[in-house]
Amino acid sequence: MSRVAMQRLYTARDRIEAQLVHDHLDRHLIRTTILGDYLAGAIGELPADLSPSVWLIDDEDLGRARDLIDRFLAEQTTRLNDGEPLSLIHI
């Protein structure tokens, strides 16, 4: 049985941001999972690095996934500068 070694692809500010990135990649047929999205409830009990993160399942999608995230974040930043509603701006 072979083991799947997932890679952390993106660290989000919160669960919503992680879900937005996950959904964007899913629309482009890139499989990811979100880890750590429920740890915020343990603040004070666990170390401070509790940000949820998006993990890539298939290594061969790494380059395309990073490009898609970069473009997605750039689009969100452009919307912020144009005064439109913003969904996320943080890497």
Q: How far is CA 47 from the centre of its chain?
A: 20
pTM for the model stands at 0.72
For residue 38, the model assigns a pLDDT of 66
Cα–Cα dist 66/9, whole Å: 7
Name residue 89's amino acid: I
If you average pLDDT over residues 7-30, what whole number do you get? Answer: 93
| Helix (H/G/I), strand (E/B), else coil: 1 | coil
The DSSP line for 22-79 is HHHHHHTT--EEEESTTGGGGBTTB-S----EEEES-GGGHHHHHHHHHHHHHHHHHH
pLDDT in tens, 26-73: 999 999 999 987 655 555 555 555 789 999 999 999 999 999 999 998
> What burial class does residue 68 get, using C-beta atoms within 10 Å of its C-beta: 0-12 exposed, 13-18 middle, 19+ buried?
middle
